[in-house]
Structure 1
Amino acid sequence: MIRPSYAVKLARTKLHSKCGMLFASTIVASLLFAALIAIIIVFTGAEKSAEMFIKKVGNDRYLVKASPNIPNKALGITNNLSLEEIRELKAFEKKYYQNLQDKYKSLGLAYDKSTEAPALLPASWMPDSLPEEQRVTVNFSSPVISDFNDQQFEKYAKTANNKLTNLKEIGSKYDAAGYYIVDKISGLPQIPALRLIQNDKEDFGNSNPKADDMTTYGYYTNAIYNSNYTFTDQQLLRRYMLATDASRLNGIPVVVSVQEAVSLFGKKLNLEAEPADTNQKSTWLKNVQEKLN
């Protein structure tokens, strides 16, 4: 083993002979460590800023949209029926036509059995491995199918656990508050899509959706022609509306893209088209804003 005094001498010798390399290694390691610390601080700050922004915008809450999960089986039968389902449908069909005959009889009318449309039709293409009773296909043109689907949905709705009360039970675990129906049916008649009025004239013939390049971007840059009205609960909109006093409004305020503003008012205000050069877009946007305001 080397003596401690020799170890100290060896360390001093290496320090003097490789001083530059040691200094460079120390600087590089320090810079890398400092960069790592800086990245952690920046991302931590960004995360906290995002959380604070979300809390302030949503009044320390966030919106959640829920839709009932309805199984396909409850929406209507398909051709993939089990033997039990086939027998259930046959029993319903027998009862359906018996009730129909009773109605005819009560009205003193003659009932023609040949007009009945069977709910199930033979399917010769099905494999012989299936029972003969199961080698059938659903006749969707039969009125029996429509009534049978309605009955199945009613049975499902009575026992479904996706009602508002069930949603509130789940929401109570997360301190949820405020439940609103979105896209609810209104008693008002259907309102037409938006129309642009220029020079005190409204063009009802110009009603087709527009998209310059047939993409989502194209539809957004033609928002006036592609927009329509919708009804939303006032409580949901309140947090996003800066001004709630509508007494001074002369119309419905809308937000349009700068591209659409140029296409609509470019000739009148002498606005230039959007430049292709990215460096020029900032100046172009500022010029459009000044002339429009």
Structure 2
Amino acid sequence: MIGFRDSITLAHTKIRSKRIRMLITTIVSGLLFGIIGGGVLLFDGTSASVDRFADENLGGRYLVQGTPTIPADQAFPNPEDPALLKTITAEHAAYLEERKAAAKKYDIDDYDPKDEVPAVVDNPYGDPSIPAGQRKMVNQESVVWKRHLAEVYEKASANAKATPEAFATAARADGATETYQPKPLRSLALTFLKDGREDLTKVVTPEEQQAQMENGPPSSIESSELTLLDDELVSAFVTDPSTRGTPKGIPVLVPVDDVVATLGAQLGLSKRPKDSAAQIDWFREVKEKSNGVTFTECYRNAAENTRVEEARQQAAEIAANAKKPGWTKPSRILALPTTPCGEVTVASDTRSAREKKADANREAFEAQFEPKEAPRAELLTFQVVGVLPSDQSSMSGLEAVIGGIVGTRFGYGSIVPAGLLEAVPAALRGGDLLTKPPVTTTPDQMMFGPYGPDAAFIASFPTVEQAKTFLRSQACPGMDSFAGDVYYECGKAFSVGTYGSNYLVVDDIARQGRPFLIGILAVLFGIATIIIWAMMGRVIADSRRETAVFRAIGAKRSDIIGVYLLYSLWVALRIALFAALLAAAIAVAIEYLYAERATRAAQLAYGVFDGDARFHFLGVPGPVFWAILGGIMLMALVAITPPLLRNIRRNPIRDMRDE
């Protein structure tokens, strides 16, 4: 019988007797597991860093946004549908009768139904198998079509499941503590006044319009990309009010690159440097210099813009014809404003009482079918109260990856904090201009409510697990993203997704990469098992004589098994130790080389540098890492079992004679 201590001695002797073979086995197997273990360590560290930044990013909130799902046949009716064409044709006939009656009521003698925009027109893109004269489609510019859509959307909205109340109820059922609804202000169509000046006499040429469309506006300030958002969601970006003094206008948070693009020359700011370390200093400089700075925008509604265009045309007509004999000036002449964002005024009005009444009747006639607002012009002053991180999609490499994972993304251009806006005197914020719903909306906006599809609902959850639960509850079976009518058809009122930051990106990567990781581990374990099996088989084959001697002097089969089990565990321990050290070395090297750079990239993407959160690739090993090391031990036991069983069943006398 061989004692336990003797078994250890024998196992250790075998380790020392086959050093080259042992070294090769340890290195080859250890490399395989060390590389995969290093990847697991890096993933665990990155995941922990993402969680830290997500927690600090939005004050511990995990936000989910939901957009109403509307069936395509309601939101976008087929303009070639024969039934729809028949309906529109009938509605157009009724509309013409209404117009005739109204023309008679207001004494509009020159009204001609043929001047109306046709409700049905030829369709040049229709089915070529249909004769050209029969290929028709709805004219989406006609008044009848717009009225028809408004009625359809009104009925759909009355029966809609995707209401703010429904979203709040569903979110709170899964643990949401608060819900919000952004209010995009794009419909105001504000005009940025550079240096506070305005020149309405300058007419933009078609070439200039084309260039503007191709290049796009340089910033959200100049494109009127503004959104009213609750203070709680953006408080981290608002600077200390004491540093700005008395409010001077509408508070606004502007993306940092937009500040430089539009106000950079005024403030003496340089463009974003390429070096990430320099970018942090640059970000701080932009934030400091822009704090409290004001800029002006002009609001004019459609009625006032019509008057501006009329005044322009009159001015051009007068300039071209003033010296022509017999030419008569218009009886009413409008004058362009002389102050920035002023209202158009009446310079002269020589109309008779009869003419004024006729003009008033014509206006009433048109307003009966297309109600219009009274002309309004409002000069708005905005005051920068903080800067937001800009989209980092133009960056590449590590910065782009880190920025995409932990960056703050509101997706709404510049943001007006609703609470700060309420604190500003009404005279400085244009009354209710920014808070009331738009008077007119496009058809697609009608379907989603007064603020259109951009006004997604937002729910705040205290934990990431509750956010994930809500996301799962709102997703269609077997689907992770919005897919048109499928969402509506599976009974879901909202398409949902993360908001503010990609706090679930690591979870998504882990879920999608799990089958790949399992496959890689299976292959690695298989290769390592074969290597160790071959080595063990060779060792046992070379040890038949000594095994036979041990058996001859009284050692039991269990004693032999014990020696080789200790031997295999010792081999596995060496491989596991080498793999663990290699994995740690890989993670430490990546941490040393890239952690500081990743931290700067994360802070830039986050936009706030006052917190303690740092980005680390090296973290506390998770269960997967320990499972890999434990799997090495198990693998060694599996690898030694077949050759060991064959060995102990052999006849020791025959083995001694053969040797």
| Number of equivalenced pairs | 251
Cα distance in 2 for residues equivalent to 1:25 and 1:105: 101
Cα distance in 1 for residues equivalent to 2:285 and 2:136: 71
Which letter maps to 1:87? Answer: K
- The residue aligned with 1:152 is 152
Alignment of structure 1 residues 21-36 onto 2, 5 Å: 21-30=21-30, 32-36=32-36
Change (3 A) 1:93 1:233: same
Structure holding more strand per residue: 2
Change (3 A) 1:66 1:134: farther
5+ residue gaps, structure 1: 1-13, 196-201, 206-213
For residue 180 of structure 2, give the secondary structure of its aligned residue in structure 1.
coil
Give the drift of 1:166.
Answer: 2.6
Which letter maps to 2:161? Answer: N
- The residue aligned with 2:96 is 97
Change (3 A) 1:204 1:242: closer
Cα distance in 2 for residues equivalent to 1:109 and 1:168: 52
Q: What is the CA deviation profile of residues 95-115 of structure 1, one whole-angstrom value per residue up to 9, with x for unaligned ones?
A: 323333443455576675555
Identity %: 22
For residue 176 of structure 1, give the secondary structure of its aligned residue in structure 2.
coil
Cα distance in 1 for residues equivalent to 2:112 and 2:54: 68
Which letter maps to 2:80? Answer: N
2:231 to 211, 234, 255: 234
Change (3 A) 1:98 1:23: same
Compute the RMSD of aligned alpha carbons.
5.4
User: Normalized against structure 1, the TM-score is what?
Assistant: 0.57
Which letter maps to 2:166? Answer: N
5+ residue gaps, structure 2: 1-13, 199-213, 289-659
Q: Is the 8 A contact 2:79 2:138 kept in 1?
A: yes
Give the drift of 1:246.
Answer: 0.6
- The residue aligned with 1:137 is 137
- Is 2:244 the counterpart of 1:249? yes
- Is 2:163 the counterpart of 1:163? yes
- The residue aligned with 2:208 is none
Q: Is the 8 A contact 2:182 2:230 kept in 1?
A: yes
Q: What is the CA deviation profile of residues 193-231 of structure 1, one whole-angstrom value per residue up to 9, with x for unaligned ones?
A: 486xxxxxx5858xxxxxxxx999xx68xx998997654
Cα distance in 2 for residues equivalent to 1:120 and 1:227: 35
- The residue aligned with 2:336 is none
Cα distance in 2 for residues equivalent to 1:43 and 1:107: 76
Q: Is the 8 A contact 1:194 1:227 kept in 2?
A: no
For residue 66 of structure 1, give the secondary structure of its aligned residue in structure 2.
strand
- The residue aligned with 1:80 is 80
Q: Is the 8 A contact 1:194 1:226 kept in 2?
A: no
Give the drift of 1:72.
Answer: 5.2
User: Normalized against structure 2, the TM-score is what?
Assistant: 0.30
Which letter maps to 2:96? Answer: Y
Cα distance in 2 for residues equivalent to 1:183 and 1:143: 28
Q: What is the CA deviation profile of residues 80-106 of structure 1, one whole-angstrom value per residue up to 9, with x for unaligned ones?
A: 22x222222223223323333443455
Cα distance in 2 for residues equivalent to 1:109 and 1:291: 64
Q: What is the CA deviation profile of residues 23-65 of structure 1, one whole-angstrom value per residue up to 9, with x for unaligned ones?
A: 3323443454345434423422331332243234334422233
For residue 21 of structure 2, give the secondary structure of its aligned residue in structure 1.
helix
Cα distance in 2 for residues equivalent to 1:116 and 1:134: 21
Q: Is the 8 A contact 2:85 2:137 kept in 1?
A: no
Cα distance in 2 for residues equivalent to 1:122 and 1:135: 6
Bigger relative contact order, structure 1 or 2 (CA pairs below 8 A, ≥6 apart): 2
Cα distance in 2 for residues equivalent to 1:126 and 1:151: 27
Cα distance in 2 for residues equivalent to 1:129 and 1:161: 41
Change (3 A) 1:21 1:119: same
Alignment of structure 1 residues 198-213 onto 2, 5 Å: 204=197
Q: Is the 8 A contact 1:224 1:256 kept in 2?
A: no
Which letter maps to 2:231? Answer: Q
Change (3 A) 1:194 1:233: farther
Cα distance in 2 for residues equivalent to 1:67 and 1:130: 39
Q: Is the 8 A contact 1:76 1:149 kept in 2?
A: no
Q: Is the 8 A contact 1:191 1:229 kept in 2?
A: no
- Is 2:46 the counterpart of 1:51? no
- The residue aligned with 1:208 is none
Q: What is the CA deviation profile of residues 259-288 of structure 1, one whole-angstrom value per residue up to 9, with x for unaligned ones?
A: x69x8699x99x9x96x9x7xx86x77998
Cα distance in 2 for residues equivalent to 1:70 and 1:102: 37
Q: Is the 8 A contact 2:121 2:139 kept in 1?
A: yes
Which letter maps to 1:96? Answer: Y
Which letter maps to 2:172? Answer: S
Change (3 A) 1:48 1:119: same
Change (3 A) 1:45 1:180: same
Cα distance in 2 for residues equivalent to 1:228 and 1:125: 35
Q: Is the 8 A contact 1:93 1:119 kept in 2?
A: yes
Change (3 A) 1:130 1:232: same
Cα distance in 2 for residues equivalent to 1:231 and 1:291: 26
Cα distance in 1 for residues equivalent to 2:108 and 2:265: 66
- The residue aligned with 2:568 is none
Q: Is the 8 A contact 2:185 2:224 kept in 1?
A: no
Q: Is the 8 A contact 2:118 2:139 kept in 1?
A: yes
Q: Is the 8 A contact 1:118 1:139 kept in 2?
A: yes
